[in-house]
Structure 1
């Protein structure tokens, strides 16, 4: 009988990734898992005595001492969030090996990890930027070789008015839009296999209807099947990750708002704008959590905290407050 304990760490990593694939993570996420596992494993292979090539590293060599040394070297040049992510990946890997009977225990509790800071929201800058963006993209641009404003507005509106992630947009089917007029909703295959339902207001519903009608005119009504991808490229093929990112980037350029998009949050800035406006309009952390598909309430709370800070900054900038500050500074009696 084959004993998995004889297999190298690299082979076990691939078995773990195959098992994780049943949860339907994005290819980007799977590659991040592989990178974290192989990078730390290579450092661990240098810590054993004598040092071994990565492909020859046996799993029994991954003792708490070796893992602590490997993670100490891994952490030195990296941010706390990156180290925390790698620690979580390795913890999941060892949990998989324990469940499979490959190792007797998980050494990761003996390996220190930094507390991961919650990422701060990065909405579009400028109070009216979303409206400017939608208005500009809705106009046909004669400089485009094959303009399709209905499709472009639909993509932006789904992110701005439903808060969808890139992977969630790509996973949408035509049949993901459900419900009667006035009660429309979009059924989202969320991150981590967590499905959710987001209400669709009449304005967004009309944008999507206009897009699907324009798509039927372009490619024929038979191509708009319930099981087909909702978002397609100019050839009628399902949009892919790179194509969707390029589409959103081109929308920013056409609207002239590229300087208002936070660095490193091109499409995600639209989702963050949706969440920030929810908080500004009084939504609770629990409501934001459900609508955005967050795994924890803490992630949703950051939008409310940021909004509270923005409100404080606005009050501080009020000209009357500045005049009052000047008055108090000029009149010592006013401070007594």
Structure 2
């Protein structure tokens, strides 16, 4: 017999070493498993008819008694308790528990993985929120000074909108990731240089994304007139965006840059780092870009992930039609 709490601790040590998880991610796994084992401990070992209930692992302290009914009941509990969780939160918590039961089955503590057939509740599809081209222009223009911080912030914002990069991808860039590639102008057949950014995304997969002239000018101004001042305050680092002490700019600091710019632009809509990514994709599709090209630029593994943005543009078209066409108004 292996106590459930000891099995959970063994699993947490395993993923900490094998997956190299951050303290934040490991703490999330620990909280999820603690919620699960605490709930299991409150469950009876017999049902209302007096028959033995499948499961009851925590009551007898044996991970080997975990059953599908335990996980299914846990999902139902999360959805119906006094403070029910949203479907996405339930899915995340169930994922942690299922990962644990898969590990337990692999170790031979369970004859079968009880979580293999348990599915989370379906989450309602949430369309990504983009801001208009006009609002994006206002936001970018709101950071228009010449001091080092403003030059850095303008370069960061321009790059986010020009590339659709995730905030973690943007702050993870190195100076050498901004470069030029030789290309041929289709109209003149002459060689020309194209500015690009080499973005490292999820799973360390790299993609090349063009960098527009406005963004390249902002990045160049930062590199020449601001970054050397930041770099002189810290140790040598290849990071593109630097903080006040000369170290790589953190995600949290980049968040604050975006919030300050949105406030300066007097935008009423909530603006987050992902707003730039959503706006990048939506504006490209509105301009006639092929969805598979946008997929490559965003670094999506599946085009299905990108196609959600086509629903956003279709939604906008419908709204315009209903408010503008005389036969659509009622």
What TM-score, normalized by structure 2, do the two folds share? 0.79
Equivalent residue for 2:224, pick from 196, 209, 213: 213
Displacement of 1:244: 1.7
Aligned mates of 1:287, 1:31 — CA distance in 2: 38
Q: Corresponding residue for 1:190?
A: 201
Aligned mates of 2:26, 2:274 — CA distance in 1: 19
Partner SS, residue 186 of structure 1 = strand
Residue 16 of structure 2 corresponds to residue 18 of structure 1: yes
Partner SS, residue 185 of structure 1 = strand
Q: 1:219 to 1:112 in 2, by over 3 A?
A: closer
Aligned mates of 2:37, 2:4 — CA distance in 1: 16
Displacement of 1:5: 8.2
Partner SS, residue 19 of structure 2 = helix
Q: Is the 8 A contact 2:4 2:37 kept in 1?
A: no
Partner SS, residue 188 of structure 1 = strand
Residue 54 of structure 2 corresponds to residue 68 of structure 1: no
Aligned counterparts, 1:33-44, within 5 A: 33-44=29-40
Q: Is the 8 A contact 1:44 1:67 kept in 2?
A: no
Q: Is the 8 A contact 2:195 2:210 kept in 1?
A: yes
Aligned mates of 1:6, 1:218 — CA distance in 2: 55
Equivalent residue for 2:126, pick from 119, 131, 134: 119
Residue 90 of structure 2 corresponds to residue 83 of structure 1: yes
Q: Is the 8 A contact 1:74 1:83 kept in 2?
A: yes
Q: Corresponding residue for 1:333?
A: none
Structure 1: state its 5+ residue gaps.
141-145, 330-336
C-alpha deviations, 1:256-300, integer Å up to 9, x for none? Answer: 22x122xxx522111111111111112233222221122432221
What TM-score, normalized by structure 1, do the two folds share? 0.78
Partner SS, residue 126 of structure 2 = coil
Q: Corresponding residue for 1:334?
A: none
Partner SS, residue 17 of structure 1 = helix
Partner SS, residue 108 of structure 1 = coil
Q: Is the 8 A contact 2:2 2:63 kept in 1?
A: no
Displacement of 1:220: 5.5
Q: Corresponding residue for 2:99?
A: 92
Q: Corresponding residue for 1:260?
A: 269
Q: Corresponding residue for 2:164?
A: 163
Aligned mates of 2:130, 2:23 — CA distance in 1: 25
Q: Corresponding residue for 1:237?
A: 247
Q: Corresponding residue for 2:238?
A: 228
Displacement of 1:135: 1.2
Displacement of 1:217: 4.1
Q: Is the 8 A contact 1:9 1:58 kept in 2?
A: no
Displacement of 1:212: 1.3
C-alpha deviations, 1:16-42, integer Å up to 9, x for none? Answer: 4315634xx666555444433332232
Q: Is the 8 A contact 1:166 1:241 kept in 2?
A: yes
Aligned mates of 1:178, 1:186 — CA distance in 2: 6
Aligned mates of 1:231, 1:82 — CA distance in 2: 33
C-alpha deviations, 1:215-268, integer Å up to 9, x for none? Answer: 34414679796x5222111222222232221121111122222x122xxx5221
Give aligned pairs, total. 308
Partner SS, residue 122 of structure 1 = coil
Aligned mates of 1:12, 1:267 — CA distance in 2: 36
Q: Is the 8 A contact 2:180 2:196 kept in 1?
A: yes
Aligned mates of 2:71, 2:254 — CA distance in 1: 39
